[in-house]
Structure 1
Amino acid sequence: MKRNLLHILIAAALLQTACQKDLLEKGPLDAYTNESLWTSQAAATAALSGCYKDWETSFNIFYMDAVSDNSYSQWPWDNYQHLGNGTSSPADPQTVNKWDYTTIQRCNSFLENVDKVPMDEALKTRFKAEARFLRAYKYFNMSQLYGDVPLVIKTLTVQEANSVSRTPRADVRKFVADELTAVAQILPEKYEGSDVGRITKGAALSLKARMELYDKNYAACIDDCKKVMALGYSLYPSYTDLFRQAFKNNQEVILDVQYKANEKDNNNGDVGIMPSSSFGGWASLSPTQSLVDAYEMTNGKTIDDPASGYNDSNPFSNRDPRLAASIVYPGLKYENKFYDPISPKAADFYSEGNNSPTGYIEKKFTAFLSDYPDMWNTGLNIIVIRYAEILLTYAEAQIESGVIDNTVYAAIDAVRARAGMPLVDRTVYSDVTSLRNLIRRERRAELALEGLRWFDIQRWQIGTTVRSGTVYGTRLGTVDAVTGATVFTGDHVVADQRTFNPLRDYLWPVPQKERDINKNLAQNPGY
């Protein structure tokens, strides 16, 4: 993943040989040449599989919430901590580099060469649409994180790669929108058998709707959401099981990263990074008190509402069921024991070893560790887009357009009802301001720890409010090992201190090593 532009945008012949051999892992290093690769349908299929390799990873999805107020990454070498606390810099070796053209180059090479292949033309057209989507996805993500990025849609010589300049973000976004519109007309609505997991029409329309929401293009967003809503997706009945290995590829999944234990590279599929030491993990990611506090009470009121019934001495009682489905908190029974990060000398005490420094551990994707005989080698697919997001995206676009009708309430109600929460009180949430607050809170609860919160902070421009200051965790106290009864007697623990510069931190720094190679790459403001 961490390759610089020079290494990635290199001469076409070299890339088409070396890249394909590496990512396809097809025996000897000289198994394919550029001349032999494009001679059969089987070879074209293998080349397209190379485009799919690492187009997205579970590691990226898991860790992106650590850039937000939802989660804290305690190990700086995981390369997300500094982005989360505002201390990253262009030359920081512990800042993840997503200025990454690997997938883009593979797709460019594929699209330039696949027409040479004698194969079924309809299948070839679909293959090209899949590659175009994967390239568009990478450009969407990079333009979201860095703003202006070089828009490269052909293989480049070394000289070209070392002199390319940044394309205005608006032009990159137009390219992505045009590509997604085009491929949505080509891609099938669903696949069968071994093709399940490939890019679909729904994936193209959903990514386009996500981008349109982020760019405040609400009319287009609403239109694309309606198209997705007509494709037959539905909410999976169980919020907990939605993220379990046994129930993957269910009717709510629109786009995901496919994994298979022992076969697909599982270095990105590990779930052991989340549980703390007594469960065999490292607690690399720790939910924050801020996220815990965002969940409503079961009566639909926020915990700061005097009428909510919230009790600071019993803070997890009568809370939105998605809290217990997503986060392991003190006193919750998990893997046949009551989790205790707050009692001194407890195995999971927050300040020791590989334990969570906030006292909370991620449960989403790891609700049942027994699902995985080996936490470091799993077949768990990682969801990138699901139908609940589309419903909330539609509702938000309608609200921001000032169009509050029954469809808005119906979309939000469907998500809340599936979670076991009451329907929206229309007497309380009846105007744009109140509904805006509701939909933002609903997105946070529903999509927590799925890698989307930072993008919401970025587009709502709320970084100064939510991503600066102290990162708190649970209060200290005791947990009864037999009953799980929890008594809080101490203050909230402190995990980190964060700063946020609104003139800088809404975009990531262009990695200095890229600018050292290519002097035409300007840096983002403030870095």
Structure 2
Amino acid sequence: MKTIKRYMLIAFSALTLPACTLLDTEPQDFITPDKFYNTQEELEAALRGVYMTLADNGLYGTNIPARLGLSADIGYETYDYDSSSVGFYDVSTNDAMVLTYWRLCYAGINRANKLLESIDRPAIDETVRARIESEARFLRAYFHFMLVNRFQNIPIMLKSPKDGYKESVQIAQSAPRDTYRMIISEMEASIAGLPDAETLSGGGHLSKSAAYGILARAALYMAGQPLEETSMYAKAKEYAGKVIELGFHRLNPSFEEVFINMIQDKYDIRETIFEIEFWGNNQSTYTATAGQIGRINGIQAYTALTKIGPSNGALRASSYFYTLYEEGDLRRDWTIAPFYYQNSENDKGIPLDYKHDCGTNYWRRCCGKFRREYELSDPKDNQYTPINFPVLRYSDVLLMWAEAVAADPDSSAQELDQAYEYVNMVRRRGFGKDPLVADATVDLEQENKQQLLENIKDERARELGFEALRKDDLVRWGELYDRMVAVRATIPPTYTSNYYVMGRIYYGNISRRDVVWPIPSYELGVNRKLVQNTGF
């Protein structure tokens, strides 16, 4: 919602006050807990600070959408600066982006902890208090979820450190199963205080729908590798079912419009249930609220193309991703753009913008979901954009419910029928059809559970490609290494264009250890109870 965007700057100011002058007798660059969290406004500002951590460039602002290798078999990076990093699967214990990810997640956890520890301080409406507490509690669990997916063995932090001494952060790692159980317990406990989605104007704030949808995701991850706690398939079905049963959410009839809405701050919470919000063009007042969505993961456009909005086109599609789409699937040319922008000059030397067709050179195609040509900023900044990024969409909820049915040995024949219908709803929209009307030209022919599961694996790529979910899917299915090796084999060894070279490096670096990231070396030095992951 626009409210959270307008107040992001206020939250940032509250968390980073000006430094003291030489004449000050009391430091002014840090707000001690006893001087904050004393009013509803201060609690709300602190909560916005927790949300803002997600929007940091080290997380959803830049790195998660394009620079951490999360597109796996369907996409690769061509940003040379990252060639010796996690972005190219050349990860080390000293990787700066891995360290930043770790630190920011724990920073978000610590912000949530400090807020929760002071939640009862001011005299405010109890419904408001319950809502703030529930949002902070859920976000704290979500940061743990982001960590356990990447590192598996992590310290659980449900209290802020009592002081700044090293001894206060000597905390042992928990087993992934225990961490997941905590995450699910905390997320479930937060639901009662969260608002109904229909009462919100957009997906920038958490709702009950967002909570249930992310719980379904957590349950699916727990059911897959490495934990293989298959009883969680039933829980995933239950959680996703809660969102569907509301009857409020629906698929936007236009796949393209889902993303144009996010680009232009037009909220559609029926489809986009939870999104990371950004605001402004990093100019004038708003210098801490913009991200790089569309700039880092957009269609390549040179800096001179100010009308289009420049993008380095760092995130490209693999040819394998192109072949996943069937003829007539409208999602293909929107998700992986069939052109890039290039400039020329007219007879007066004035630059002209135009689209250069990629033709059959599928490795040349960029991520096309976040197109700066639709951005409303004026002027368009060379680096920063106000484009939002989706965390949970309704189509994902439908596919998660269907997957849970296909993977759960105890699901019924009636549920299997419904699972096929949900997958077909997503497919119909992708082909420009009415999602609610059966269409033999695009609907999957009903077969067994295993075949449905294989279809869902491909359908998730087609529908959710470049939304930072693919690597996690392949890890939980136990298919990351094999799929990456298979894509590497499709790159002609004699092709020398930069994007082919980058693709060979990206897919050639894969090893079986890459289902996890290493614990950052710096953190091993700070917390001596940490143990490095196998293979690093």
Q: Same fold (TM over 0.5)?
A: yes
Aligned residue pairs: how many? 461
CA contact (8 A) 1:76 1:82 kept: no
Aligned match of 2:243? 228
Change in CA separation of 1:166 and 1:107 when aligned onto 2, cut-off 3 Å: same
CA contact (8 A) 1:359 1:473 kept: no
Find the residue that maps to 1:53 and give its secondary structure.
Answer: helix
Change in CA separation of 1:407 and 1:428 when aligned onto 2, cut-off 3 Å: closer
Is 2:68 aligned against 1:62? no
CA contact (8 A) 2:203 2:275 kept: no
TM-score calculated relative to the size of structure 1: 0.79
Aligned match of 2:276? 257
Aligned match of 1:453? 470
1:204 is matched with which residue: 204, 211, 216? 211
Is 2:520 aligned against 1:521? no
Distance 2:376 2:257 in 1: 11
Distance 1:135 1:151 in 2: 10
Unaligned runs of 5+ in 1: 1-19, 299-319, 344-349, 351-356, 476-489
Distance 2:184 2:140 in 1: 12
The CA deviation at 1:268 is 2.4
Aligned match of 2:300? 276
Is 2:99 aligned against 1:71? no
The CA deviation at 1:87 is 2.2
Distance 2:17 2:41 in 1: 13
CA contact (8 A) 2:219 2:235 kept: yes
2:154 maps to a residue whose letter is: V
The CA deviation at 1:470 is 5.9
Aligned match of 2:335? 326
The CA deviation at 1:27 is 5.9
CA contact (8 A) 2:76 2:316 kept: yes
**Which of structure 1's runs of 4+ aligned residues deviate more than 6 A?**
193-196, 331-336, 424-427, 472-475
Q: Percent identity?
A: 25
Change in CA separation of 1:420 and 1:508 when aligned onto 2, cut-off 3 Å: same
CA contact (8 A) 2:14 2:45 kept: no
Change in CA separation of 1:237 and 1:28 when aligned onto 2, cut-off 3 Å: farther
Distance 1:235 1:28 in 2: 49
- More helix per residue: 2
Is 2:151 aligned against 1:146? yes
Aligned match of 2:319? 289
The CA deviation at 1:28 is 6.5
Aligned match of 1:237? 253
1:248 maps to a residue whose letter is: K
Change in CA separation of 1:226 and 1:291 when aligned onto 2, cut-off 3 Å: same
Aligned match of 2:436? none
Distance 2:216 2:90 in 1: 32
The CA deviation at 1:85 is 4.2
Aligned match of 2:418? 407
Distance 1:67 1:197 in 2: 24
The CA deviation at 1:296 is 2.0
Report 1:1-40 matches (<5 A). 24-25=15-16, 30=28, 32-40=31-39
2:300 maps to a residue whose letter is: S
Find the residue that maps to 2:101 and give its secondary structure.
Answer: coil
Change in CA separation of 1:143 and 1:370 when aligned onto 2, cut-off 3 Å: closer
Change in CA separation of 1:259 and 1:321 when aligned onto 2, cut-off 3 Å: same
Is 2:266 aligned against 1:248? yes
Aligned match of 1:45? 44
1:129 is matched with which residue: 130, 134, 139? 134
Find the residue that maps to 2:219 and give its secondary structure.
Answer: helix
What RMSD in Å do the two structures reach over aligned CA positions? 3.3
Aligned match of 1:363? 368
Report 1:473-492 matches (<5 A). none
Cα deviation, 1:207-263, whole Å, max 9, x if unaligned, reads 110011111211111111111112311111110110122363202011111122153
Change in CA separation of 1:196 and 1:447 when aligned onto 2, cut-off 3 Å: closer
1:378 maps to a residue whose letter is: T
1:246 maps to a residue whose letter is: Q
TM-score calculated relative to the size of structure 2: 0.78
Find the residue that maps to 2:274 and give its secondary structure.
Answer: strand
Cα deviation, 1:485-518, whole Å, max 9, x if unaligned, reads xxxxx9x94432324332x221111111111222
Find the residue that maps to 1:256 and give its secondary structure.
Answer: strand
Distance 1:341 1:71 in 2: 16
